[in-house]
């Protein structure tokens, strides 16, 4: 049904202010060291004309969903420029890989037994130089694996001290830390075999107590859980945990099981959100996979907000008054869906940022900057994808004061408003027409500057701004991101189109 939206800038009511680094991202530890990550889709799979082969297990076999990649070049000038253009961010270096990483800072060149991989001093300095060059704050998680301690022994800070002291002495201190990545999947987390929720609670306390004594400026963040019941398509019945996570990974723990009894309080509450799992994992977790034709539906776009709402009571319980950080966020666990690198995922990305802002204050760490199909930038060549330009415009237009528009979200009209990023009086509206069939009419009471996002096809790898293709120019220059004058009156927002309006 065609929708009508009446904008009333003078009647906007303030909801809250949000962090100016709301839009942030991950660089996986597996990228820094080189290692196993998700195998890229073929062009035909991205276009939706070729199916992704089913799998029976997670492996790096030739027919598996993963492969080994070399380390990322964090000194690449194109990468640094595009990262810098996004503005101030947090960079999180973590992932399951981080829990099993040995810090080889003396250059011995050996990975001790019980670790999966090693991080060299040069590689870590590359991360520190990258953060310094783009003005980012740095977040990590630390090693917690059989190489560090057995299941009968408590965690110890011998490895953590290496990375924290090197970062401090280099002049780029670590600003925040989670103890582990996704500890609720205990059997898949990298922790020693037989590790329990009680072991985790004990060891997180040890880590945070050590951190507060030795690096008091570092925020203690946790627990970084993943796979809640909001994940996956709605069937009218409550999903199995995480759309089937518990069916694949044994020995899973709840947030309460991990956190009850802990003595060291959180500075920030964290969790992971994915709308579901990708085609790579569909065959082993079918309950958690969405089809492409669902990606603009109300049910699909509601998942991020539902996940946030489910975690707010946990934040209030374990970190009252604190921020809430989504330390991994993306369309689909397992490297992203086939359409993650196309215009089709922009609806979810912008809707997530906007909905989260209406619900709470915190940070969303998009997974990832430049690894796999859900990344803002294509691996190695670092060409920006539609989501990159979408969040770039968000950062340039949407300020930190969040307003209540009085418009309930419905198909064809997801309407949000923030203060103007340029600091001038007025507001910036975000209007998402997620209907693929009906135009939306917007009644605009005053002149505005319009930024219309569209594409020739939903699965297009190139997005347009006011009809201009968003691709890099000579010497990797950003394209023209200017808006167009929109006179007061009636504006038609075409189907599957997104509009920013600055008034």
pLDDT score at 265: 98
Select from 356, 381, 397 the last residue of a domain: 397
- How many domains does the chain contain in total? 2
Q: Could you report the per-residue pLDDT of 341-386, keeping only the tens digit for each?
A: 999 999 999 999 999 999 999 999 999 999 999 999 999 999 999 9
Q: Within this chain, do residues 176 and 87 fall inside the same structural domain, yes or no? A: yes
Cβ neighbours for 75, distance < 8 A, ≥ 6 positions apart: 126, 129, 130
Return the CATH number at 50.
3.20.20.80
Range(s) of the domain holding residue 474:
3-15+403-502
pLDDT score at 391: 99
Q: Could you report the per-residue pLDDT of 200-210, keeping only the tens digit for each?
A: 999 999 999 99
pTM for this prediction? 0.96
pLDDT score at 62: 64
Select from 377, 397, 417 the last residue of a domain: 397
Q: Within this chain, do residues 92 and 188 fall inside the same structural domain, yes or no? A: yes
pLDDT score at 249: 58
pLDDT score at 417: 99
Cβ neighbours for 320, distance < 8 A, ≥ 6 positions apart: none
| Residue spans of the chain under pLDDT 50 | 235-244, 246
Number of other CB atoms surrounding residue 166 within 10 Å: 17
Q: Within this chain, do residues 68 and 137 fall inside the same structural domain, yes or no? A: yes
Q: Within this chain, do residues 100 and 142 fall inside the same structural domain, yes or no? A: yes
The CA distance from 499 to 483, in Å, is 10
Two structure tokens written together for 494: 């075409």
What is each CA distance from 139 to 173, 181, 253, 400, in whole angstroms?
10, 12, 24, 22
Q: Within this chain, do residues 291 and 375 fall inside the same structural domain, yes or no? A: yes
Torsion angle of alpha carbons 91, 361, 173, 379, nearest 10°? 0
Q: Within this chain, do residues 341 and 421 fall inside the same structural domain, yes or no? A: no
Count CA atoms closer than 13 A to 395's CA, side-chain side.
Answer: 19
Q: Could you report the per-residue pLDDT of 377-417, keeping only the tens digit for each?
A: 999 999 999 999 999 999 999 999 999 999 999 999 999 99
Q: Within this chain, do residues 285 and 218 fall inside the same structural domain, yes or no? A: yes
Q: Within this chain, do residues 62 and 92 fall inside the same structural domain, yes or no? A: yes
- Give burial (CB, 10 Å; 0-12/13-18/19+) of 10: exposed
pLDDT score at 61: 67
Q: Within this chain, do residues 271 and 359 fall inside the same structural domain, yes or no? A: yes
Q: Within this chain, do residues 26 and 167 fall inside the same structural domain, yes or no? A: yes
Q: Within this chain, do residues 291 and 379 fall inside the same structural domain, yes or no? A: yes
Q: What is the CA radius of gyration of the chain?
A: 22
């Amino acid at each position: 049904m065609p929708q009508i939206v009446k904008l009333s800038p003078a009647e906007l009511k303030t909801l809250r202010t949000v962090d100016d680094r709301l839009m942030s991202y991950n660089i996986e530890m597996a990228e820094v060291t080189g290692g196993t990550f998700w195998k890229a889709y073929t062009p035909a799979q991205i276009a939706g004309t070729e199916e992704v082969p089913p799998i029976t297990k997670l492996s790096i076999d030739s027919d598996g969903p993963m492969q080994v990649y070399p380390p990322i070049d964090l000194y690449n000038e194109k990468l640094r420029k595009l990262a810098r253009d996004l503005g101030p961010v947090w960079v999180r270096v973590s992932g399951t890989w981080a829990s099993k990483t040995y810090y080889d800072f003396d250059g011995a060149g050996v990975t001790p037994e019980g670790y999966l991989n090693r991080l060299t001093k040069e590689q870590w300095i590359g991360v520190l130089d990258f953060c310094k060059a783009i003005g980012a704050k740095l977040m990590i998680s630390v090693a917690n694996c059989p190489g560090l301690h057995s299941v009968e022994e408590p965690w110890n800070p011998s490895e953590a001290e290496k990375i924290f002291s090197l970062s401090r002495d280099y002049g780029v201190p670590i600003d925040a830390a989670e103890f582990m990545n996704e500890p609720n999947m205990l059997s898949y987390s990298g922790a020693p075999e037989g590790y329990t929720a009680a072991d985790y609670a004990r060891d997180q306390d040890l880590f945070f107590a050590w951190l507060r004594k030795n690096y008091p400026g570092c925020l203690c963040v946790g627990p970084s859980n993943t796979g809640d019941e909001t994940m996956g398509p709605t069937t009218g019945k409550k999903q199995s945990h995480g759309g089937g996570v518990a069916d694949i990974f044994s020995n899973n723990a709840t947030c309460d099981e991990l956190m009850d009894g802990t003595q060291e309080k959180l500075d920030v509450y964290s969790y992971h959100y994915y709308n579901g799992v990708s085609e790579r994992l569909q065959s082993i977790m079918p309950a958690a996979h969405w089809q492409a034709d669902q990606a603009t539906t109300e049910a699909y776009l509601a998942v991020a907000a539902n996940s946030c709402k489910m975690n707010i009571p946990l934040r209030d319980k374990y970190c009252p008054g604190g921020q809430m950080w989504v330390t991994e966020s993306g369309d689909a666990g397992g490297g992203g869906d086939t359409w993650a690198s196309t215009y089709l995922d922009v609806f979810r990305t912008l809707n997530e940022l906007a909905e989260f802002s209406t619900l709470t204050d915190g940070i969303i760490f998009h997974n990832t900057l430049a690894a796999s199909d859900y990344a803002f930038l294509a691996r190695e060549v670092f060409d920006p994808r539609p989501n990159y330009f979408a969040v770039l415009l968000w950062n340039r237009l949407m300020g930190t004061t969040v307003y209540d528009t009085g418009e309930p979200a419905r198909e064809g009209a997801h309407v949000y408003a923030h203060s103007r990023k340029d600091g001038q009086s007025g507001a910036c509206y975000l209007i998402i027409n997620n209907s693929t069939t009906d135009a939306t009419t917007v009644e605009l009471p005053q002149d505005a500057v319009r930024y219309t996002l569209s594409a020739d096809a939903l699965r297009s790898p190139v997005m347009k701004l006011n009809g201009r293709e968003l691709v890099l120019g000579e010497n990797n220059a950003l394209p023209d991101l200017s808006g167009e004058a929109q006179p007061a009156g009636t504006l038609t927002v075409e189907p599957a189109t997104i509009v920013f309006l600055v008034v």
